[in-house]
């Protein structure tokens, strides 16, 4: 079954062709990062306009790369939520038009379910159930993937997402948007113990996290040093931030593995590319004797291949949509049914 998959929820326009959920025939991405960099963050109106310009030629390119024609498409999958609403709607309406014109089913895919499914592409033998640590620019959560479309949120951040925390600290350090990857590069090999940063404790659910205190502490430290004209050891501060974020994630992940008894751990989302987090979850999995799945770096950030992978399982579960899909685009929970 060939799925044409569309992703336009933020600043990447992406179109992929995925066969039977696991095999990638084409994976086209057009990033807008260089445009939004000028403003230090994503400008939603510009993002929507760029998606409109890009999506059609990108879909044509994906079909050419896949070596198939329109007639070979069996379903159209699309990210329906969450995301910048104008940006999401460009993809949703393109997908609706394509599905309608081809007379094929339309399959709405939650963006976070897509990130989780990136692991199916990198690990063809991976099957639920497994525990997944989802870490992106907008989300940080631990989810129990009971089945391909039966996903339960166990805990998550009460405030900032891990990626947001990295990006905001990186921005104050003068790194270009999105700063997470630059902060990661800067931190490598540096002494992470030089700057002690707070570890937040959250009342209630022991699997919940908080990153806003860490973000504020790091930013205050930078501003204080600037006011006193003291030099900051930037690599050491970046290593301290990465260490603090990773410790918080890994301790909750360990607890969630204990609670659920799952024998497989997967990691998903843009922040899954972080070298410190990858090293720490690898060490955790080895210590606990659980199997670890990390997505390849190309499938960590936003892409349409992951939407095609999850779209296949949503289709098999009968979770297709009619043409009123716009109404769902404002919903943002992983467990939401469509």
269 near ligand KG4, rule: CB under 6 A: yes
Region of 14-22, 32-40, 93-101, 162-170 interacting with ligand KG4 (CB under 6 A) = 162-170
What residues contact residue 168 under an 8 Å CB cut-off, 6+ apart?
160, 215, 219
Which of 105, 128, 156, 180 touches ligand KG4 (CB under 6 A)? Answer: 180
114's contact among ligand KG4, Zn ion, none, with CB below 5 to 8 A by partner kind, is: none
CA nearest 3: which of 68, 85, 82, 51?
A: 68
244 near ligand KG4, rule: CB under 6 A: no
274's contact among Zn ion, ligand KG4, none, with CB below 5 to 8 A by partner kind, is: ligand KG4
Give the integer Cα–Cα distance in Å for 2 and 140. Answer: 31
Interacting residues with Zn ion between 294 and 323 (CB under 5 A): 302
Report CA 168 to chain centroid distance, whole Å. 17
CB of 230 to ligand KG4, least distance (A): 26
82 near ligand KG4, rule: CB under 6 A: no
# of chain residues touching ligand KG4 (CB under 6 A):
19
Residue nearer to ligand KG4 on the CB measure, 59 or 238: 238
CB of 235 to ligand KG4, least distance (A): 14
What residues contact residue 133 under an 8 Å CB cut-off, 6+ apart?
142, 249, 253, 265, 266, 267, 268, 272, 281
Question: Which whole-number Å values give the CA distances from 21 to 4, 195, 213, 278, 279, in the listed order?
Answer: 11, 45, 40, 25, 28
Give the integer Cα–Cα distance in Å for 106 and 74. Answer: 10
Which of 243, 295, 301, 311 touches ligand KG4 (CB under 6 A)? Answer: 301
Which of 30, 119, 136, 210 touches ligand KG4 (CB under 6 A)? Answer: 136
Region of 132-140, 152-160, 222-230, 291-299 interacting with Zn ion (CB under 5 A) = 132-140
Give the integer Cα–Cα distance in Å for 118 and 307. Answer: 8
What residues contact residue 201 under an 8 Å CB cut-off, 6+ apart?
none
Give the integer Cα–Cα distance in Å for 9 and 47. Answer: 9
11 near ligand KG4, rule: CB under 6 A: no
184 near ligand KG4, rule: CB under 6 A: yes
156's contact among Zn ion, ligand KG4, none, with CB below 5 to 8 A by partner kind, is: none
Region of 65-73, 94-102, 267-275, 318-326 interacting with ligand KG4 (CB under 6 A) = 267-275
Q: What angle do CA 110, 18, 335 make, to 5 degrees?
A: 15
Q: Per-residue x/- mask for Zn ion, residues 87 to 126, rule CB under 5 A?
A: ----------------------------------------
Which of 163, 235, 295, 308 touches ligand KG4 (CB under 6 A)? Answer: 163
167 near Zn ion, rule: CB under 5 A: no
CA nearest 301: which of 99, 53, 37, 32?
A: 32
Instruction: Answer yes or no: are the C-beta atoms of 232 and 225 closer than 8 Å.
Output: yes
136 near Zn ion, rule: CB under 5 A: yes
CB of 179 to ligand KG4, least distance (A): 6
Give the integer Cα–Cα distance in Å for 28 and 305. Answer: 9
CB of 221 to ligand KG4, least distance (A): 19
114 near ligand KG4, rule: CB under 6 A: no
Instruction: Answer yes or no: are the C-beta atoms of 185 and 276 closer than 8 Å.
Output: no
Report CA 148 to chain centroid distance, whole Å. 17
Give the integer Cα–Cα distance in Å for 195 and 241. Answer: 9
208's contact among Zn ion, ligand KG4, none, with CB below 5 to 8 A by partner kind, is: none
Given the rule CB under 5 A, which residues bind Zn ion? 136, 302
């Amino acid at each position: 079954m060939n799925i044409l998959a569309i992703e336009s929820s933020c600043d990447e326009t992406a179109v992929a062709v995925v066969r039977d959920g696991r095999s990638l025939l084409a994976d086209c991405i057009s990033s807008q990062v260089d445009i939004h960099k000028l403003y230090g963050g994503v400008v939603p109106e510009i993002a929507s306009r760029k998606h409109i310009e890009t999506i059609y030629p990108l879909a044509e390119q994906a079909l050419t790369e896949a070596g198939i024609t329109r007639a070979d498409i069996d379903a159209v999958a699309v990210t329906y939520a969450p995301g910048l609403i104008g940006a999401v709607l460009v993809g949703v309406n393109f997908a609706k038009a394509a599905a309608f014109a081809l007379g094929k089913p339309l399959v709405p895919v939650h963006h976070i379910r897509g990130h989780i499914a990136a692991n199916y592409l990198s690990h063809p033998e991976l099957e639920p159930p497994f525990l997944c640590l989802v870490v992106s620019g907008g989300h940080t959560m631990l989810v129990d993937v009971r089945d391909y479309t039966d996903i339960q949120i166990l805990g998550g951040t009460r405030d900032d997402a891990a990626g947001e925390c990295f990006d905001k600290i990186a921005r104050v350090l003068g790194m270009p948007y999105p700063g997470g990857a630059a902060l990661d590069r800067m931190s490598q090999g540096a002494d992470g113990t030089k700057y002690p940063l707070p570890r937040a404790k959250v009342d209630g659910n022991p699997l919940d996290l908080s990153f806003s205190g860490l973000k504020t502490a790091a930013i205050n430290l930078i501003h204080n040093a600037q006011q006193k004209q003291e030099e900051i050891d930037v690599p050491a501060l970046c290593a301290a931030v990465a260490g603090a974020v990773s410790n918080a994630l890994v301790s909750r992940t360990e607890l969630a593995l204990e609670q659920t008894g799952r024998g497989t751990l997967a990691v998903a989302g843009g922040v899954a590319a972080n070298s410190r987090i990858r090293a720490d979850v690898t060490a955790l999995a080895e210590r606990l004797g659980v199997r670890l799945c990390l997505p390849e770096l190309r499938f960590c950030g936003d892409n349409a291949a992951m939407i095609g992978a999850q779209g296949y399982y949503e289709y098999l579960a009968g979770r297709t949509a009619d043409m009123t899909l716009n109404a769902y685009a404002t919903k943002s929970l992983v467990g939401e049914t469509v």
